A and B are shown apart, each in its own frame.
Chain A
Amino acid sequence: MSKSDPNAPKKLALIASKGTLDWAYPPFILASAAAAMGWEVTIFFTFFGLPLLKPKLDAKVSALGNPAMPMKMPFGSEEFQNINWPMPNLVMANMPGFENIATGLMKQTFKNKGVASVEELRDMCLDLDVKMIGCQMTMDVFGFKKEEFIPQAEIGGAATFLEFAADADVQLFI
């Protein structure tokens, strides 16, 4: 228990509630960095974050909820790549195929800059013993089964997360 024992590892409790590619990164980045520093980490996957526990990730970028989201091109000269291309939300959100294009551009930009993929980050988290809990209620509502998730995933509810979070040094809702 971190409160009584000063030598006990610090704890990080995360809730991953979003499933788009841009929102898939923060929980895995924070979890892997914390675990690398020797912290105990638990991520609770709920609502749209739940599909991040599937073996094959197909997280995409969405224009919805990203007002004035700028895009960068992963090719051309450095000057060209540094241009912020404005993406008008209402137009792009309704344009067929936009999500695939935006997702492809973001993945390529990340790869070019040396950012690990979400899959790689998740694998590193598992390697560093990050605990991943799927939300039972969301599974019931959206019709997910435990067998659809990676074998390391555990299943739990609000109380499971809260018990860990109550004793954690950092708690974040993402």
Chain B
Amino acid sequence: MIISELALLPLAGEENSLVWGMVNPLPIYYHSVVPKEAQMTDEVIKEDQVLDCSGMLCPMPVVKATKAMKELQSGQILKMLATDPGAPPDMEAWSRQTGNELLRSMTEDGKFIFFLKKK
């Protein structure tokens, strides 16, 4: 009886992780720190190029953003979409490291949207 119960445990859902003596690591999402005024403004930003990184995980969004930036001229704007919860802090770091300005970072329909201006 014990054996048959054990055999069913993994199918019982998340609680079973305690039974197995294991910890189910829940992802910790880092919250984006973008200046309030950058998020509040209604001003429309006109992009020159759109890059969709939906469904891609680290490090693809930063790599794709770099490649897309190579096609743009200085001052042009890239609009980037991503679903990776790691993208907001990563794009901020990428912006600081590359010098390409992160004009706006926002969430829309469950997607992260970034407006990046080429240095």
Report A's interface with B, CB cutoff 8 A. Answer: 10, 29-30, 32-33, 35-39, 68, 70, 79-80, 82-86, 113-116, 121, 124, 128
Contacts and interface: CB of A to CB of B under 8 A. Distances in A.
B97 A84 contact: no
Contacts of A32: 59, 63
B13 interface: yes
Nearest to A86: B20
B11 A80 contact: yes
Interface stretch (B33-41, B50-58, B102-110): B50-58
A84 B22 CA distance: 8
A36 B57 contact: no
Interface residue tally on B, bucketed by range: 20 to 34
Given A33-B62, A37-B62, A70 B94 contact: no
Given A82-B14, A86-B20, A116 B60 contact: yes
B97 A37 contact: yes
A83 B57 contact: no
B17 A84 contact: yes
Contacts of A113: 57
Interface of B: 10-11, 13-14, 16-17, 20-22, 24, 55-60, 62-63, 65-66, 84, 90, 93-94, 97-98
Contacts of A29: 58-59
A70 B65 CA distance: 33
Nearest to B64: A36
A114 B57 contact: yes
Given A70-B22, A83-B10, A84-B22, A38 B58 contact: no
Given A36-B66, A38-B97, A86 B22 contact: yes
A162 B116 CA distance: 36
A79 B57 CA distance: 21
Nearest to B59: A33
A32 B10 CA distance: 37
A173 to B, nearest CB: 20
Nearest to B63: A36
Given A33-B62, A36-B65, A37-B98, 7 more contacts: A32-B59, A37-B66, A37-B94, A38-B66, A83-B16, A83-B17, A114-B56
A124 B62 CA distance: 11
A121 B24 CA distance: 28
A8 B100 CA distance: 16
Nearest to A76: B11
A69 to B, nearest CB: 11
In the A-B complex, the 9 residue pairs with the closest CB atoms:
A37-B97, A33-B59, A36-B66, A36-B62, A114-B55, A36-B63, A114-B57, A115-B57, A32-B59
